[in-house]
Amino acid sequence: MNKKILIFAAVALLTVAGCKKDFLEDMKSYDKYDDSIFENELQTGWYIDRMYNYYFVNYRNPLQQVVGLYNDDRSKMTEEIGGDVGKYINPTTTLQLASQAEGYYGNSVTASVQNNPYTRIRFANFLIGRIDIAGDGLSESFKQSAKGQMYLLRALQYFDLVRVYGGVPLVTTVQENSATDEEIRQPRATSLACFEQIVSDLDSAAILLPMRWDGEANNYGRLTAAGALAMKSRVLLTAASPLFNKDWDNPANERWQKALDASLDAETKLTAAGYGLYGSNAKDWAEMTFRNDNSFNPEALMVFLLSTTSTGSSGYNNSWENQVRPTSYKGGGGVSAPKEMLDLFPVADGSRPNADNYVDTFFFVNRDPRFYRTFAFSGSKWGIKGNENKSTWFYRWKDNETSTKVTYYANDQTNSPVLVSKMSNPVADSTGFAFSGTDIFEYRYAELLLNIAECYAARGEIGNAVNYLSKIRQRVGILSANNYGIGVPASRYEALEACLYERRVELAYEGKRYWDIQRWMLYDNTQESGNSVQKLGLTPINGTKRTGYYWQSKTYGADPLSNADRDILIDPDAANFNEEIAKLKTVYQNHFVMTPLDQEWDRVNNEAVNILFRPNYYLSGLSATVLSNNPWLQQTKGWLDYSGASGTYDYQQ
């Protein structure tokens, strides 16, 4: 069993012989937990571990987002995944009422603790405010690391509140719950003030926490100063982006400089501590995400550890392995890749796909090395425990030309000839996909380099931006010609677009795309965004759809392929890789045609639709419950308040 369960499964700690088993249960009422948690380091440690549990217990999948909530709704609003037309991209609905707003903010406090954002903030505030006063028996180093973890956790929570709502009330001390005390009626702070508080917390965490923990094998996965420094980069980049920065188009805007300074500072300090890009080729790039030995991984700036145990009370599993594996592997059916993602990745020399270098029918030919580590398609090597050379095949055939009966090879009914395989372990046990212990890299060193590139691009320092993008591509083995295929952007807008493009490829299916779309306001081209879509030369996402298709047999009535036809094993590490790719191309030409889905992938009430994300959705209004319990809070512009009046809160302040 992996040691990783020690950090998050705080409930298991309660069974330690001789310990006060009801200690943490006392926290279930606001008036019962007190300074007794600081009697010794063991009890304080329980408290800290319970905080990790509150924050990350639902984080089981790299597509999941938002602290405490952790669902994949936002990932499904991007080009990465088709078919799920949730409420925010559904063109048949218009959300504007407070009753339709996000409920993430939380409800009113009741007698028992609810694990919502301000509960988590309250618990962090309690430790920060009391440990130095009540923890006389605790060592100074322990107190510092305890506070450092709370500062970083509080920063993470406020950051996601801001990304969901814009500015929110800032509460940094423990307040007693009261319906009548006007002193605790905090108004919504400006978004800028929230960002400043988050940065202050991250600065405190960076001072108090170690860059790497002593006893690293037992503490791997705990928050570090490295994570705090990296988060500061992400937070300030978000603050500088069009969603929150009306002056984003000014290369001299101080927010870009602050984000750049923080990112470069993080790079310097992290490099000195041993962090950096993992490995020097595409094979390493893939392997870094499924290492499970709890040893230091230089790429992992914030990593969340999962367990292989099947006992729910003692560990938490990664659901990704089961989700991405097809039915024929005894998996959940797979994550079909939209055609838009297949056509996105560069070709082998790093240049963008175009009519001269790319034919979508043969999407698998001559692609960026990362393509073959992100996707699995017919003939691909996608091993499991006991069969490392197992391969995939995704195609179908009909009984006859007019028949509605369709047979899928190996019963793998997918909406694409390609499944996502990134972050899948090639020796995963097919009898236990649901109990995968593969860790989730919430923040990789590569993202920090991409942040630096974007800041340089926004400031018009195109050469520096390209230099940092080149580091990303050099690591995976793209050749250096023409700046690793990036070329030389002709303007800061082209450089910014190149950064966003590289993020789509490098960070694909890691839960990052929605936040890039949101902070750059890429669903539409509006005055509120400073016309960011038009200036970057992009097409708005609104009006588009996620497209799937089948590899369908040219012939009818039986499987078109023999065992000899399927005697292909496309392994990007093998010497015969190109020969096997050529074999697959021949098999396709002889036997298959690209066939549209029987029904459009994106549908509402069984009718085909295109994406429509309305401008007021970029940041949610406060819910009716929150406004009812806190009538002094302003509603966000674009949303109606509890009484039906237009919101007045400007999140761009």
For the stretch 449-463, pLDDT in tens is 999 999 999 999 999
CB 637 within 8 A of CB 649: yes
Distance of alpha carbon 367 from the chain centroid: 24
Query: What DSSP designation does 30 have?
Result: T
pLDDT tens-digit readout, 479-529:
999 999 999 999 999 999 999 999 999 999 999 999 999 999 999 998 888
At residue 179, the pLDDT reads: 66
At residue 615, the pLDDT reads: 97
Single-letter amino acid code for the residue at 139: S
- Region 324-345: what's the mean pLDDT? 98
Residue 103: which residues within 8 A CB-CB, separation 6 or more? Answer: 623, 625
Q: How far apart are CA 649 and CA 644, in angstroms?
A: 15
CB 14 within 8 A of CB 26: no
At residue 108, the pLDDT reads: 64
Task: Report which secondary-structure segment, H or E, holds 51.
Answer: helix 41-56
Is residue 47 scored above 50 in pLDDT?
yes
With cut-offs at 50, 70 and 90, classify the pLDDT of residue 15.
Answer: very low
CB 40 within 8 A of CB 137: yes
Name the pTM for this structure: 0.95
Please report, for the chain, the start and end positions of each structural domain, with discontinuous segments joined by +. Answer: 320-436+549-596, 441-524
Is residue 312 scored above 70 in pLDDT?
no
pLDDT tens-digit readout, 163-204:
999 999 999 999 877 667 777 789 999 999 999 999 999 999
| 3-state percent helix, strand, coil for the chain, nearest multiple of 5 | 40, 10, 50
Look over the chain and give the mean of its residue pLDDT values, rounded to a whole number: 93
At residue 291, the pLDDT reads: 82
- Region 130-157: what's the mean pLDDT? 98
With cut-offs at 50, 70 and 90, classify the pLDDT of residue 478.
Answer: very high
Is residue 5 scored above 70 in pLDDT?
no
Is residue 4 scored above 90 in pLDDT?
no
At residue 184, the pLDDT reads: 76
Is residue 269 scored above 80 in pLDDT?
yes
Is residue 140 scored above 70 in pLDDT?
yes
Nearest Cα to Cα of residue 375 among 182, 572, 582, 522: 572
For the chain, report the end-to-end CA distance as a whole number of angstroms: 49
At residue 20, the pLDDT reads: 39
**Half-sphere CA count of 73, side-chain side, radius 13 A:** 12
More confident position, 312 or 552: 552
Is residue 531 scored above 70 in pLDDT?
yes
Percent of the chain with pLDDT over 70: 93
- Decide the pairing of beta strands 603-604 and 607-608: antiparallel
Q: How far apart are CA 653 and CA 650, in angstroms?
A: 6
